[in-house]
Structure 1
Amino acid sequence: MKEPLKKIALIGQPNVGKSSLFNRIAKKRIAIVSDLAGTTRDIRKHEVEVLGRKALMLDTGGIDETNDAIFSNVKRKAIECAKEADIILFMVDGKRIPDDKDKELFYELQDLGKRLALVVNKIDNDKEKERLWSFYEFGIDDENLFGISVSHNRGTKKLFEWIAKDLPPSEEEIALALQTLKEEKKGQDDDDYFEDEEEFEEEYIEEIYEEDDEEQEEDCDDKINVAIIGRTNVGKSSILNALLGEERSVVSPIAGTTIDPVDEAFEYEGKTITFVDTAGLRRRGKIEGIEKYALMRTKEMLEKANLALVVLDASETLVDLDEKIAGLVDEYGLGTIIVLNKWDENMDTFKKFEETVRSKFKFLYYAPIIAVSAKTGRSIGRLKDKIIEIYNNYSQRIPTATLNKIVEEAVIRHALPSPNGNYLRIYYTTQFESKPPRIALIMNKPNLLHFSYKRYLINYLRDNINFEGTPIHILARKKGQREEDNEESFQG
């Protein structure tokens, strides 16, 4: 007997774009689209295919908490529809401030225990993505929050993949997977394995689902782009060769041997690490011709990098140019490791040199310092491990509940200031972006929060969460504040 189709319910207030999304999924104009709130009043049902997998889509009427009998009936039908559904898409307008009606309904839907996504529509461009931070107030996990624009067809693929993951595979997928599995089983000792096709399908249909889950996991970000920067002849090419375990970059005592960045990649701890051995940077007055081009290429590379190795020559005295080069990393907001190359001294000497580096690079106080010797291979393995650790810190997402608890503790320990008698209050805290971590403080008077208190909060966060090697951006904002009105972020 054929199993019934899984049901997907579209729920939300009027005029948030449910009918448009319904039509987008159905690939035809079925639901009426209008700027008039409440155009859809009945529940429309239509069989659809989401990435080749079939489902029954239910489009409910817009829910509006009014005394109007029609809308009261619409809400009742919508809730009933959600109870029947296997998957619920709760849709909100990304151009509006999240309101209490949305939150109340969302929490009611959460209590149903169904697979639930919060779909924020009308995020029409990259600039408007920052509006998503205010919707973390719902307490939604990252994997269940989607910023999309139905009208511009932006962000819908990720949503469709999320939906399809919970739908049974299509007949074509099953047939192809079964055929592949049969071919893999050929030659095994069990000669009568394929006598019962139905038994074969029941036994291995679970494998198909597992393969699909593996594909979803493979979509996660496991690529790290590492920039290697420093003055000419500090040993960047030697460090690259030591990390790769073979000589792939020309090493020479002549300053400026490396002109073009050389991309090299290798697998380590389940990550693909791509190094760019940048051309050595000289003083601006000495940059001529092809080296000027090399500097331009280096900056282009930094825009694409996640992490940077700031290489210093431990056998020489630090100069102002070292500080300027390190400043590029700070400018691009990269995860950072300070690497002391050509290190052959004892630990006491290292402590003294470390103090000098910390004094010179105060803006990179969060970056770990590792002393290595590319020539002997000393601490190269430790440097590889540290790259993985810093990238994990750089790309991590801290749950809103965890951030709120830490910030509340910080405020208890050191109360918010009261500039000119103004009462400041932080409503909640949420991380709305990673690489690097960007954290929003949602409060009543964000423009009155002094940068020194933001620095205190950053330090307190570092005391409670492993953010070693990564900058943290703190932004103070009002509820529903639009990006064009945003206060500049504080980095530390």
Structure 2
Amino acid sequence: MQKVILIGRPNVGKSSLFNRLAKQRIAITSDISGTTRDTNKTQIEIFDRFCVLVDSGGLDESTEMFAKVQQKTLEEAKNSDIIVFMVDGKFMPQDEDKRIFYSLLKLDKPTALVINKIDGNKDEERSFEFNEFGAKNSFGISVSHNSGVDDLKSWIYRYLEDEIKPDVSLDLDEFLENFDENGEILEEKLENYDEKPIKVGIIGRVNVGKSSLLNALVKESRSVVSPTAGTTIDPVNESFIYEDRIYEFVDTAGIRKRGKIEGIEKFALNRTEAVLEQTDIALLVLDSSEPLTELDERIAGIASKFELGIIIVLNKWENKSEAEFERIREEIRDKFKFLAYAPIISVSALGGKRVHKLYPMILEIYKNFTQKIQTSKLNEMIAEATKTHPIPHEKGKVVKIYYAVQFGFAPPKIALVMNRPRSLHFSYKRYLTNKMRERFNLSGVPVVLIPKNRGSSDEEK
């Protein structure tokens, strides 16, 4: 199985990206330089292909121990198939980074330059300075916000062999056997989401009013409300019936900056993530009386990671104008680009203003989240999109989508059955996603597109 190695100097975010790609917390992450001193390895899935991901020790020759770590890392790079070289986008390009990057290019392997910690416009402007590296494949990402990571995954995917891991929980090939060569369904077996409770997680940093919002939604004092940050530690569950639908709300513990977590609060983040794993929709609560913070963006990234339906709730909205709402909305859209699909609503949880509008919003997004898109209409949209903007050829060879079919729900997951799946560029996938949003009601939910061979044994021709 092919190896993908993450390389870079200490504290550029390699272990965080490792955990993100592995979809679990394996590598220890901290702000202490040199936390990772050995290599962590795990088998991961990128879309429908598998590889071994390697988290290497930071490249640093300042001490004898770190010099040994660096030597081991470079040896591991020689034995890898794909190299992801990471730099810190909070700083200007470093000569040492450039020297290491050029030495890695000499290994003649697919190599990407990844500029991490691009969390805002200033970081994005600074990232242009890294053009001096002359990298053919460069990605600006924010691991903490899950921004740009999908583009990197799409690039890695192009170089992975079509190996099928045994006992995969989602057997896409088996699912596609239910469809003929035109994408028409042969047998339909869909889960009845209409009979399930809608699970809603309330998340945000400490003291933004999550507990007050839960109380307003269920119309009773279910959560303890206090100005003391960190009052809620364990998730608080409460069910409520609205128009014959059961809503299950969970008020999660407020998330602090990592350096300010105290006592049993250190478990709050893990418990919040455990809740989100079982949640359909997240209410991301922001304090409209305070400026947006880096921690708000980080929490938004956590919600995005779990591929949930999302509503952004501006709480503590008392006596503010429509112009002020538009200003804050534009700021959120600028900083939370990865949540461009999430609607924004302003409320006052303590005063109960506009809280009632959340119920129909949640229901609409849940329907979008669990909807079955008609195969014929989906393929009609794909045909129109590819005619308007044809798929770019790959080294002179035609890249063609035979048909598209939805193979998963919550959120909608679409397989693009085609002749050369590795050749579908991530920018074209983004184009198709935007076209889908124009045609179908997908407000508030992410969309997962997976290019796939017509048959697992087919070769690209």
Query: Structure 1 length as normaliser, TM-score?
Result: 0.57
**Equivalent in the alignment of 1:320:** 294
**Equivalent in the alignment of 1:59:** none
**Equivalent in the alignment of 1:131:** 173
Mapped contact 1:237–1:251 kept (Cα < 8 A): yes
Q: CA deviation at 1:222?
A: 2.5
Are 1:383 and 2:361 an aligned pair?
no
Which of 257, 260, 265 matches 1:283?
A: 257
Q: What secondary structure is seen at the aligned counterpart in 2 of 1:338?
A: strand
- Rounded to whole Å, the distance in 1 between the matches of 2:331 and 2:189 is 46
**Equivalent in the alignment of 1:441:** 416
- Rounded to whole Å, the distance in 1 between the matches of 2:175 and 2:405 is 7
CA 408–133 in structure 1, closer or farther in 2 if over 3 Å, else same? farther
**Equivalent in the alignment of 1:409:** 384
Q: What secondary structure is seen at the aligned counterpart in 1 of 2:206?
A: coil
Mapped contact 1:260–1:294 kept (Cα < 8 A): yes
**Equivalent in the alignment of 2:404:** 429
Mapped contact 1:436–1:471 kept (Cα < 8 A): yes
Q: CA deviation at 1:269?
A: 2.5
> Relative contact order (C-alpha < 8 Å, sep 6+): which is higher?
2
Are 1:368 and 2:411 an aligned pair?
no
Which of 315, 322, 327 matches 1:341?
A: 315
Q: What secondary structure is seen at the aligned counterpart in 2 of 1:145?
A: coil
Query: Structure 2 length as normaliser, TM-score?
Result: 0.60
> Structure 1 residues 293-302 or 306-315, which shifts more?
293-302
Q: CA deviation at 1:136?
A: 4.4
**Equivalent in the alignment of 1:266:** 240
Alignment gaps of 5+ in structure 1:
1-123, 148-157, 159-216, 486-492
Mapped contact 1:427–1:443 kept (Cα < 8 A): yes
Mapped contact 1:133–1:431 kept (Cα < 8 A): no
Q: Deviations over 1:328-380 (max 9, x none)?
A: 11111111000000112010110000000111100000000011111221211
Q: What secondary structure is seen at the aligned counterpart in 2 of 1:318?
A: coil
Q: Deviations over 1:49-98 (max 9, x none)?
A: xxxxxxxxxxxxxxxxxxxxxxxxxxxxxxxxxxxxxxxxxxxxxxxxxx
Q: Deviations over 1:424-481 (max 9, x none)?
A: 1110000000011110111110101100000000000000100000000001111123
- Rounded to whole Å, the distance in 2 between the matches of 1:387 and 1:221 is 15
Mapped contact 1:222–1:270 kept (Cα < 8 A): no
**Equivalent in the alignment of 1:350:** 325
- Rounded to whole Å, the distance in 2 between the matches of 1:459 and 1:225 is 27
- Rounded to whole Å, the distance in 1 between the matches of 2:184 and 2:435 is 24
Aligned pairs for 1:151-190 (under 5 A) are: none
Which of 384, 392, 413 matches 2:367?
A: 392
Counterpart amino acid of 1:310? L
Aligned pairs for 1:239-250 (under 5 A) are: 239-250=213-224
Paired residues, what number?
291
- Rounded to whole Å, the distance in 2 between the matches of 1:387 and 1:132 is 33
- Rounded to whole Å, the distance in 2 between the matches of 1:326 and 1:338 is 9
Mapped contact 2:179–2:185 kept (Cα < 8 A): no
Aligned pairs for 1:186-225 (under 5 A) are: 220-225=194-199
Mapped contact 1:224–1:274 kept (Cα < 8 A): yes
Counterpart amino acid of 2:305? E
Counterpart amino acid of 2:448? H
Are 1:237 and 2:211 an aligned pair?
yes
Mapped contact 1:136–1:400 kept (Cα < 8 A): no
Q: Deviations over 1:226-273 (max 9, x none)?
A: 111000000000111111111111111111111111000111223211
Q: CA RMSD in A?
A: 2.2
Q: What secondary structure is seen at the aligned counterpart in 2 of 1:137?
A: coil
- Rounded to whole Å, the distance in 2 between the matches of 1:379 and 1:146 is 39
Q: What secondary structure is seen at the aligned counterpart in 1 of 2:285?
A: strand
Q: CA deviation at 1:137?
A: 2.5
Post-superposition, which runs of at least 4 consecutive aligned residues in structure 1 deviate over 6 A? none
Q: CA deviation at 1:135?
A: 2.7
Q: Deviations over 1:272-328 (max 9, x none)?
A: 111110011000111122101122111110111111000000000011000001101
- Rounded to whole Å, the distance in 2 between the matches of 1:306 and 1:289 is 30
Counterpart amino acid of 1:254? T
- Rounded to whole Å, the distance in 2 between the matches of 1:405 and 1:254 is 55
> Structure 1 residues 241-250 or 229-238, which shifts more?
241-250
- Rounded to whole Å, the distance in 2 between the matches of 1:266 and 1:453 is 42
Are 1:303 and 2:345 an aligned pair?
no
Which of 309, 313, 334 matches 1:359?
A: 334
Q: CA deviation at 1:224?
A: 1.0
Alignment gaps of 5+ in structure 2:
1-165
- Rounded to whole Å, the distance in 1 between the matches of 2:194 and 2:351 is 36
Q: CA deviation at 1:140?
A: 5.6
The higher radius of gyration belongs to 1
CA 222–269 in structure 1, closer or farther in 2 if over 3 Å, else same? farther
Q: CA deviation at 1:400?
A: 1.1
Counterpart amino acid of 1:308? A
- Rounded to whole Å, the distance in 2 between the matches of 1:136 and 1:463 is 28
CA 132–356 in structure 1, closer or farther in 2 if over 3 Å, else same? same
Counterpart amino acid of 1:330? S
Counterpart amino acid of 1:279? A
CA 343–220 in structure 1, closer or farther in 2 if over 3 Å, else same? closer
Q: CA deviation at 1:145?
A: 3.3
CA 272–359 in structure 1, closer or farther in 2 if over 3 Å, else same? same
- Rounded to whole Å, the distance in 1 between the matches of 2:456 and 2:245 is 38
Which of 188, 192, 195 matches 1:145?
A: 188
